[in-house]
Amino acid sequence: MLAYATRHFSLAVPVILIVAVLAFLLMHALPGDPASVMAGSDASPAEIERIRVQLGLDRPVIEQLLLWGWNLLHGDFGRSLTLNQPVMSAVVERAPVTLSLSLLALAITVPISLVLGALAAYRRGTAVDGIVMVLALAGVSVPGFWLGILGITLFSVKLGWVPSSGYVPLSSGVGPWFASIILPATVLAFFQIGFLARITRATMLEVFEQEFIRAARARGVGEWRIVSKHVLRNGLLIIVTACGVILTMLISGAVVTETVFALPGIGRLVVQGVFARDYPLIQGVLIIIALVLVVVNILVDILYRLIDPRLR
Amino acid sequence: MTDSTMQTVEPDPAAAGQFLHKRLRRILRHRSIVIGAAIVAAIVIPAIAAPLVAHFPPNEMHIRDRFTFPSGEYWMGTDAYGRDVFSRVVHGARISMGIAALVTLIVGICGAMLGVLAGYYRVIDGFVMRVMDALMAFPEILLAIAITAALGPQLNSVVIAIAAAYVPRTVRIVRASTLLIRELAFVEAAFINGVGDLRILFRHILPNCVGPLAVQLTFVFAYAILAEAALSFIGVGPPPPAPSWGNVISDSRDYAAEAWWVMAFPGLAISLAALGANLLGDGLSDLLDPRMKGNS
């Protein structure tokens, strides 16, 4: 297992290198002179020069790339131009918001989509299946930000059940924290449920056709036991496999959801960076998230091997 | 049933006609393909004919008719500037569907080329796939935002940004098909007969990847519609006052509770368009993978 883990991590090294180069290239893809773009149209030449020197843009590209890599190796992900702080600390400050949002969305997604997917597969071809599949299809077709605005209009403005925007940290009490993110998390979960329920159903359909299910039925094992013990167990594997993809989608969704609900998370940070032309910030956040996701995906693969006895 | 007859195609024109007919009937039996295609057509056709269908130019203001409730004159009501929401949605379909179509085209071409090459030539496989892995390490929307930020707020950068986010997944799918097909006897036979690499790639392998590629591309079309809307909403899409669906919704946020119609209709349009494409993709993948049949 240790050998497997080491091999897996070493396979990720080239990917991480390319991720770093891509993030570096992004800033150099800016049309014209990056320093003057970042300084804005009304900046003085001195201001532009200051940014150029601060970001090392006055040096040869290769030197900049090597320096970028060297800094990354030392955990230096660059410094934001507008926030006047290292990107890493800006990300760490905002991480609780994005994590709360994503994890709560995940907690909503997993049980609901497992049950819906299994139900649809079990009742294949019936009205139940039809309804679940239409719901799931709606989940992956309705834009999250629109659903968010609808939700705010209904639950915050009309009914006044939850605040319409803003984030309350967990340290201010579980209730207010929950109230501040339950609506965004539900909206975020909607897409994931659609996605995961469809995968679950497809996989479950295959499971239901396996020999061991027929054997269990032939032995007179009750239907409930077959579903809960044999089929759902295979469902766990789907969840673990899809985890990496879902996490990536959650972060994508979080960027949009945080904008709709004015939550001060990492996604919002990037969007602010875009409008402030704070490219080092965008670049830094991008690479931090990519690195986290690469590592998570490796861990998921390892976890998968641990869970599935056939691969052990 | 039809499967056994499908595999033996005789070069007899009558039989070929019958074969096409059978195939068409098989396609039409799939409800999701028919419904999905109908929905997409119901949005694409008015979009193409937008100047004929829409009652007003999309940015024409009727200040005296601000916030009109949907009526005979303004089918979907008017917004804060008295712009006709229906006209904006119809013209917006041009932008949104146009972007989605361009993205799909680019993803299709890049995905097919890179996928086939990576699957066929082991030398470049490793490198190409690692780059794709790296691109996939970035969450799609985040990558698209960063690329539009770098390229500037124009239509082109939106297209490139969304395409870049979805090319890697398509490359993977085409590569996987290529890996399977290149081992088949007919490819080997072509190789032994001295058929050149290019011909093998594009005449023998690529046409056999078309099925999975088509399925993937319909989903890419759906994703692209949603991604463009999300980018517009965030403010990095096609610059306003272009009536892209995301822009119209973004404009309507401040008065969503009072004038719900301004936001409701473009949102429905996005959902319907994505739903149509998703249905079509589901139907196509059923058609190609009969194991999953009977779910529509």
pLDDT in tens, B234-254: 888 888 788 888 888 888 888
Tell me which chain A residues have a C-beta less than 8 angstroms from the C-beta of B251: none
Flag whether residue A245 sits within 8 Å of chain B, measured between CB atoms.
no
Flag whether residue B222 sits within 8 Å of chain A, measured between CB atoms.
yes
Evaluate if residue B295 carries a pLDDT over 50.
Answer: no
Q: Do A158 and B292 touch (CB under 8 A)?
A: no
Flag whether residue A290 sits within 8 Å of chain B, measured between CB atoms.
yes
pLDDT number for residue B294 = 42
Q: Half-sphere exposure (CA, 13 Å, Cβ side) for B121?
A: 12
Task: Tell me the C-alpha distance between A104 and A227, whole Å.
Answer: 26
Flag whether residue B284 sits within 8 Å of chain A, measured between CB atoms.
no
Report which of residues A61 and A99 the model is more confident about. Answer: A99
- Indicate the range of B2-6, B82-86, B220-224 predicted with least confidence: B2-6
Evaluate if residue B180 carries a pLDDT over 70.
Answer: yes
Q: How confident is the model at residue B6 (pLDDT cuts 50, 70, 90)?
A: very low
pLDDT number for residue A32 = 65
Residue % of chain A over a pLDDT of 70: 98
Tell me which chain A residues have a C-beta less than 8 angstroms from the C-beta of B235: 271, 275
- In this prediction, residues B180-205 reach a mean pLDDT of 88
Report which of residues A264 and B254 the model is more confident about. Answer: A264
Q: How confident is the model at residue B55 (pLDDT cuts 50, 70, 90)?
A: confident
Q: Half-sphere exposure (CA, 13 Å, Cβ side) for A138?
A: 12
| Contact between B119 and B175 (Cβ < 8 Å) | yes
User: What tens digit of pLDDT does each residue of A196-224 get?
Assistant: 998 888 888 888 888 888 888 888 888 88
Residue % of chain B over a pLDDT of 90: 29
| A279-307 vs B140-151: helix crossing angle, rounded to 10 | 160
From the centroid of its chain, how far is CA B241? 24
Evaluate if residue B2 carries a pLDDT over 80.
Answer: no
Q: What is the CA radius of gyration of chain B?
A: 23
Identity of the residue in A29, A153, A290 whose CB atom sits nearest the CB atom of B137: A290
| Contact between B139 and A249 (Cβ < 8 Å) | yes
User: What tens digit of pLDDT does each residue of A1-16 get?
Assistant: 678 778 878 878 888 8
Identity of the residue in B139, B143, B263 whose CB atom sits nearest the CB atom of A149: B263
Tell me which chain A residues have a C-beta less than 8 angstroms from the C-beta of B230: 143-145, 256
| Contact between B138 and B148 (Cβ < 8 Å) | no
**Nearest-by-CA chain A residue for B141:** A252
The structure's pTM equals 0.86
Flag whether residue A181 sits within 8 Å of chain B, measured between CB atoms.
no
Q: A141, A154, A247: best mutation site toward chain B, by most B Cβ within 10 Å? A: A141
pLDDT number for residue B237 = 86
Evaluate if residue A245 carries a pLDDT over 60.
Answer: yes
Tell me which chain A residues have a C-beta less than 8 angstroms from the C-beta of B39: none
SS3 state at B167: helix
Owner of token pair 């969304």: B162
In sequence order, the β-bridge partners of residue A86 are A79
Does the ipTM surpass 0.90? Answer: no
Amino acid at B260: W
Tell me which chain B residues have a C-beta less than 8 angstroms from the C-beta of A253: 141
pLDDT number for residue B86 = 86
Average pLDDT over all residues of chain A:
85
Tell me how close the Cα of A149 comes to any Cα of chain B, in angstroms: 7
**Nearest-by-CA chain A residue for B227:** A143
Q: How confident is the model at residue B100 (pLDDT cuts 50, 70, 90)?
A: very high
- Indicate the range of A7-11, A97-101, A128-132 predicted with least confidence: A7-11
